[in-house]
Structure 1
Amino acid sequence: MAFDQLGRYGVWLPFNAFGPEGARELEELGYGTLWLGSSPGADELVVAETLLAATSSITVATSIVNIWKSPAAEIAEVFHRLEAAHPGRFLLGIGAGHPEANATYTTPYEALVAYFDELDAAGVPKERRALAALGPRVLKLARERSLGALPYLVPVEHTASARAILGDGALLATEHKVVIDEDPARARVTAQPRTSFYLGLRNYVANLRRFGLTDEDLAQPGGDRFYDAVVAHGSAEAVAEKLGAHLVAGADHVAIQPLADDPLPTLRTLAPLLK
C-alpha cells in the first residue's frame, strides 16, 4: 500500500462510532483514512465492509486488532474478504494491547512475531499491515515485519524519535487527540474523561516518561503538561498547526481523534485548515 493512499490526515474513532453517511462526508472533506479504534474483533469488522461499500476511495484501517482477542487465522480471512470486494483499500493494524486489559498478556514481543508469522502463512502481505508501536524494539519490528508503525497517545517529540528509529521508507501514522477550545483549562477538562484512563496503562506512562513527563504530570487525573502533550487544543488554526507539527517531525500521516460527543463539527472545521 502506498503511503499516499492514506492521505496526510485521517480520522480515528471507536469502530462503532462510524456510520456510512458520516464516512461519505469525511471522504468528501478530504480525509484519507478512517481508523477503526477500540480493538474490533473479526466478527465486528463487518463495520469495515459497510464503510468501504459506502465510500469510493477512502482507506479503512484498524487501530488496532488486538492479537490476544482475535486469532490471526480469523483476521486473515476477513482481510482476504475485504481485499476481494474492495481491492487495496483496507489496512490491517494490529497490536498487543495492554497487560491491564488482557488476562492472557504474556511476552508481547514474541506474541507479535508469532502473529506476523501466521499472517505471512495466511497470505496477508507485509505492505498491507501495520503495528501499534511506541518503544524502540517494537518500532523496529514494525519496520521489519509490516508497512510501519501506528503510535498512539504520543507527543510530537515521539514522532521525531520514532522516525529516527524507523528510518526512511517505513510508514509512521501517528494518532493525536483534539479539542477546539481557546480556553486551555476548559479544553483539558473536556479531554479528561476520554484521556485520563490511559494514565493507568503502564506502557503509555513509561513511554511518556521518556519524553520528559514527570510522575506529577502523569498522576491521575493528569497534569496540564500531560494534556498539552497529547491533546491539541486552542483555536482551530492552533489545533491544525499542532497536528501539522507531527508531519514536520517525520510522520507520514496523522490520525485525528476529536474528543467530542459529535466529532463531525470539529472535523468539518479542521478540514480546510489541514495542509
Structure 2
Amino acid sequence: MSAAQRWGMTVPLEGLPLTRQADVARELEDLGYTDLWTAEGMGTDGFTPLAVAAAVTSTVHLGVAVAPAFTRGPALLAQTAATMVATAPGRFTLGIGASSDVIVQQWNGIPYERPLSRCRDLLRFLRTVLAGNQADHRYETFAVHGFRLGVVPDPPPRLLLAGLRDKMLGLAGAEADGAVLNWISADDVARVVPQVHAGGPGKEVVARILVAPTADAEHARAVGRRLITAYLNVPVYRAFYVALGRDDLEPMWKLWADGDRRGAVDAVPDHVVDQLVVHGSPEECREHVRRFVDRGVTVPVAHLLPVGVDPLQACRDLAPR
C-alpha cells in the first residue's frame, strides 16, 4: 500500500469491549490507518463510535457506511451529520443507503417504499440544509417545512450513496459525491465503478471489504459461507447477484428457498467465498485489497470477521506498509 493510498478499518472492532474504543482509535491512527468507518446494521449505531474516535484522534478520516435513509428523520440525520463535522472539521463523510426491508420495515416498523426516490430526496434535502439554507419543500417521499440547521458545517461533509445496481449507482454519481460498495468482489468493482464516474469527475468510491485475518483457509471459508447465505438471500443482494449473472449461487438460493439452511451453506462454492472474503497471510490480504484499488476503489475499508484471532493484533498485522 503506497503512502498516499487511503486504507481504512471498520470500527468498533468486533470482539473487543466498547470501553476500549478510544484506545483502539488512537492506536489505529498511530498505525497509519487513514480512515475509520462504521456500519449500521445489527451492531452499534453508525455515529457514536465515530464521535468517540473524533475526540481522541487528529488526522484520521471518519465515515459512516451507511446510515439507512429511512430510519432517521431527515432533519435529525442532518443535525447528526452537522454535529460530527463540527466535532471533527474536514474529517467526516456521511454515507447513506436504502438499506433493506428487513432493517427498515421488519426491525423499525417503517414502510420500505420507493427506496430509490427516498435516497434521491434525502440527498437533495441534505445538500440544501448542510449548505446553511432553509428547507421548506415537499419532496416526493417526504416533506420538510421551515427547517434550518442551528450548527452549519463549514465545509459541508461529502455525501456518499450506497449502491448495488444501475439506478442507485447512477444516482450516486449524479447527485452524491460518490458511492459505497458492499458485498462485491474486486473483479466486479470494475463493472460498476464506471456507472458512478458517469456522473462527473472526482467521485469517491468506498468499498467495505470482508477480511478474515487467518491463514486457515477452511476456517475462513466456513465463516464466509455462513455470512454469504445470511446476506445474499436478502432480496436486494440476491437481485444484484442475479444481475451480475452469478449462476454459481443458484444452488444455494434454491436450497435456502426450500428451507434447507445447512444445505444452502454447504452449497456456496469455495471460489465464491475466496472472491468475497479476503483471507490469508497479512501480505496476501493486502495484495487482495490492492486488487480493489486497482479496479477503481479510492477508499478500501476492511471489516474484520471473527475467526478466533485478536482483532487489534490483526489490525497491527494488516496496517499499511
Matched, 1:84 2:86: yes
3-state SS in 2 of match to 1:97: coil
Work out the CA distance in 1 between the residues paired with 2:54 and 2:159: 17
Matched, 1:199 2:199: no
Work out the CA distance in 1 between the residues paired with 2:156 and 2:166: 19
The aligned residue for residue 232 of structure 1 is 278
The aligned residue for residue 146 of structure 1 is 176
Kindly report the root-mean-square deviation, in angstroms, between the aligned alpha carbons of the 2 structures: 2.6
The aligned residue for residue 265 of structure 1 is 313
**Alignment CA distance shift 1:211-1:176 (3 Å):** same
Check conservation: 1:67, 1:96, Cα contact below 8 A.
yes
The aligned residue for residue 214 of structure 2 is 181
**Count of equivalent residues:** 268
3-state SS in 2 of match to 1:191: helix
**Alignment CA distance shift 1:55-1:195 (3 Å):** farther
**Alignment CA distance shift 1:230-1:84 (3 Å):** same
The aligned residue for residue 60 of structure 1 is 62
Work out the CA distance in 1 between the residues paired with 2:59 and 2:183: 27
Check conservation: 1:37, 1:63, Cα contact below 8 A.
yes
Aligned identity (percent) is 27
The letter for the 1-side match of 2:31 is L
The answer for unaligned runs of 5 or more in structure 2 is: 106-110, 132-154, 257-263
Q: TM (normalized to structure 1)?
A: 0.87
Work out the CA distance in 2 between the residues paired with 1:89 and 1:68: 25
Work out the CA distance in 1 between the residues paired with 2:38 and 2:177: 17
Which is worse superposed, 99-108 or 152-161?
Answer: 99-108
Which is worse superposed, 23-32 or 79-88?
Answer: 79-88
Matched, 1:136 2:166: yes
Partner residue of 1:190 out of 220, 223, 227: 223
The aligned residue for residue 185 of structure 2 is 155
The aligned residue for residue 106 of structure 1 is 113
3-state SS in 1 of match to 2:215: coil
Q: Which of the pair has more CA radius of gyration?
A: 2
3-state SS in 2 of match to 1:88: coil
1:26 is displaced (CA, Å) by: 0.8
Which is worse superposed, 119-128 or 162-171?
Answer: 119-128
The letter for the 1-side match of 2:88 is H
The letter for the 2-side match of 1:101 is I
Check conservation: 2:8, 2:299, Cα contact below 8 A.
yes
Greater percentage in helix: 1
Partner residue of 1:12 out of 10, 13, 24: 10
Cα deviation 1:182-223 (Å, max 9, x = unaligned):
332221113344443202212222223344422125563233
Work out the CA distance in 2 between the residues paired with 1:149 and 1:263: 27
Work out the CA distance in 2 between the residues paired with 1:25 and 1:126: 28
Cα deviation 1:35-59 (Å, max 9, x = unaligned):
1112499x86233222101111111
Check conservation: 2:85, 2:157, Cα contact below 8 A.
no
Check conservation: 1:7, 1:31, Cα contact below 8 A.
no
Matched, 1:247 2:277: no
**Alignment CA distance shift 1:127-1:255 (3 Å):** same
Alignment of 1:14-53 (within 5 A): 19-39=21-41, 45-53=47-55
3-state SS in 1 of match to 2:82: helix
1:102 is displaced (CA, Å) by: 2.2
Work out the CA distance in 2 between the residues paired with 1:31 and 1:48: 14
The answer for unaligned runs of 5 or more in structure 1 is: 1-5
**Alignment CA distance shift 1:224-1:212 (3 Å):** farther
Work out the CA distance in 2 between the residues paired with 1:102 and 1:83: 26
1:271 is displaced (CA, Å) by: 1.1
Work out the CA distance in 1 between the residues paired with 2:124 and 2:49: 26
Work out the CA distance in 2 between the residues paired with 1:55 and 1:14: 15
